C-alpha cells in the first residue's frame, strides 16, 4: 500500500500522510502546542504539532459544511480570529490555522517577494488590495477564468477554505495532514521558473482557473503597447517561456507595508506581488512596481528576467 492510500478497512491512512515530505509532522511524545487555548507557537518555524491542535476527539462528527465554517471534524477546537484574538471554540476553519500560521508563523517566507508577509491573518485581510477569498468574498468579481471545466460550479463570489488548497494530494482525507507537494498542497504547483507549461505543473491553479482562458490571454493580453517582451507578454507568453504563476502572483494576499506613501510598492491588485527570484526594481528604485490602469490593463516598471520595463503598458 502506498503512503496516503486507504487501507483495507476503508479508513484513511493518516499516519502515512503525516510521514510525507510535506506534512504536519507530529512529534512522538510531545504535547499539543495550542489545543489548550494558548496561542504560543514559536516563530522559529519549529513547533510541536499534535492531533489535538486541530481535532477535539470528543466532539468530532461527519458534518460537512461550506467554507469558511468549521466542519464536524474540527468542532470544539480553539483558534485565533481575524483580529488576532484567541477564540474558544473556533467558528471558522481559518481560525484554527491562524493559531500557527498568523502572528506566530515562521519568519522565512516560502517564496521571497517584493513585499514579504508570513502572517497569513494579515495576508488575507479584506482591506488589502487583493486576497484569495478566505475571510470573505473577493473584491474583484470579474474573473474570466472562473469557473473552470474542473470546478464548473465555482463562482467568483465564492468563499474558499484553507483546505481548498492545502490537503492530502491523494484524496484520502479532507485535511492538511500531508502531501507530496509542498507546502501541503492538494495538487502540484511549481513556484520556481523554468518549467514547461502544462496542466500538471500548475494543477492547483488550473483546478479553479480555466487553463484555456489563461492561455488565451483573456485577462492579461499578450502584447504591450509599442513594445514586445522576448516572450510576447500576456499570460501565455510568460507561461510558455517558463515563468511560474508564483513569479507575479502571491497566492494568499498582499498586505501593503505600513508607513509608506501610497503606491510606493505598486497597486497589488490581482494578487500581484513579484517574486524576488526573477523580478527586481529598476535602477534607483526600491520596489518593482505594477500599476493597474483599468479593467485587465496596467503597466510595469521593473526588471524581469533581465528585461527592463519602464511603464510598459498592457494591453
The per-residue pLDDT for range 72-93, each reduced to its tens digit, is 999 999 999 999 999 999 999 9
pLDDT of residue 222: 77
Domain of 81 in residue numbering reads as 31-108
Residue 39 has pLDDT above 80, yes or no: no
pLDDT of residue 293: 94
Residues 6+ apart with CB under 8 A from 214: 145, 206, 235, 236, 239
pLDDT of residue 107: 81
* Percent above pLDDT 70 for the chain: 87
pLDDT band at 121 (very low <50, low <70, confident <90, very high): very high
The per-residue pLDDT for range 159-218, each reduced to its tens digit, is 999 999 999 999 888 899 999 999 999 999 999 999 999 999 999 999 999 999 999 999
- Rounded to whole angstroms, the Cα distance separating 48 from 27 reads 6
Residues 6+ apart with CB under 8 A from 73: 55, 60, 61, 174, 175
Q: What's the whole-number average pLDDT of the chain?
A: 89
Residues 6+ apart with CB under 8 A from 11: none
264: in domain: no
81: in domain: yes
Q: Which three cell numbers stand for residue 82?
A: 481575524
Query: Contact at 8 Å (CB) between 41 and 99?
Result: yes
- The better pLDDT of the pair 172, 291 is held by 291
80: in domain: yes
pLDDT band at 148 (very low <50, low <70, confident <90, very high): very high
229: in domain: no
- The torsion angles phi and psi of 239, rounded to 5 degrees, stand at -65, -45
pLDDT band at 4 (very low <50, low <70, confident <90, very high): very low
271: in domain: no
- Rounded to whole angstroms, the Cα distance separating 38 from 29 reads 19
76: in domain: yes
46: in domain: yes
- Rounded to whole angstroms, the Cα distance separating 16 from 6 reads 10
pTM of the model: 0.90
pLDDT of residue 3: 41
Number of domains within the chain? 1
53: in domain: yes
Amino acid at each position: 500500500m502506498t503512503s496516503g492510500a486507504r487501507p483495507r478497512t476503508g479508513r484513511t491512512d493518516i499516519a502515512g500522510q503525516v510521514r510525507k515530505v510535506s506534512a504536519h509532522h507530529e512529534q512522538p511524545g510531545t504535547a499539543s502546542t495550542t489545543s489548550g487555548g494558548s496561542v504560543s507557537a514559536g516563530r522559529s518555524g519549529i513547533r510541536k504539532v499534535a492531533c489535538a491542535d486541530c481535532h477535539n476527539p470528543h466532539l468530532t462528527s461527519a458534518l460537512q459544511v461550506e467554507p469558511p465554517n468549521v466542519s464536524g471534524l474540527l468542532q470544539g477546537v480553539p483558534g485565533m480570529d481575524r483580529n488576532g484574538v484567541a477564540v474558544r471554540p473556533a467558528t471558522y476553519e481559518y481560525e484554527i490555522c491562524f493559531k500557527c500560521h498568523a502572528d506566530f508563523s515562521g519568519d522565512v517566507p516560502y517564496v521571497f517577494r517584493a513585499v514579504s508577509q508570513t502572517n497569513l491573518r494579515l495576508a488575507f485581510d479584506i482591506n488589502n488590495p487583493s486576497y484569495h477569498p478566505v475571510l470573505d468574498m473577493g473584491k474583484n468579481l470579474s474573473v474570466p477564468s472562473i469557473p473552470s471545466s474542473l470546478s464548473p460550479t465555482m463562482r467568483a463570489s465564492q468563499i474558499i477554505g484553507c483546505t481548498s488548497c492545502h490537503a492530502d494530494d491523494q484524496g484520502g482525507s479532507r485535511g492538511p495532514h500531508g502531501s507530496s507537494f509542498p507546502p501541503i498542497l492538494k495538487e502540484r504547483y511549481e513556484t520556481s521558473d523554468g518549467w514547461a507549461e502544462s496542466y500538471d505543473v500548475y494543477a492547483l491553479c488550473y483546478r479553479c482557473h480555466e487553463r484555456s482562458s489563461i492561455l488565451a490571454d483573456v485577462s492579461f493580453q499578450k502584447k504591450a503597447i509599442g513594445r514586445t517582451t522576448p516572450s510576447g507578454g500576456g499570460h501565455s507568453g510568460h507561461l510558455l517561456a517558463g515563468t511560474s504563476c508564483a513569479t507575479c502572483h502571491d497566492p494568499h494576499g498582499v498586505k501593503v507595508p505600513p508607513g509608506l506613501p501610497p503606491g510606493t510598492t505598486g497597486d497589488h491588485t490581482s494578487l500581484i506581488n513579484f517574486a524576488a527570484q526573477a523580478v527586481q526594481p529598476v535602477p534607483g528604485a526600491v520596489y518593482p512596481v505594477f500599476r493597474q490602469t483599468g479593467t485587465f490593463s496596467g503597466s510595469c516598471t521593473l526588471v524581469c528576467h533581465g528585461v527592463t520595463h519602464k511603464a510598459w503598458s498592457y494591453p
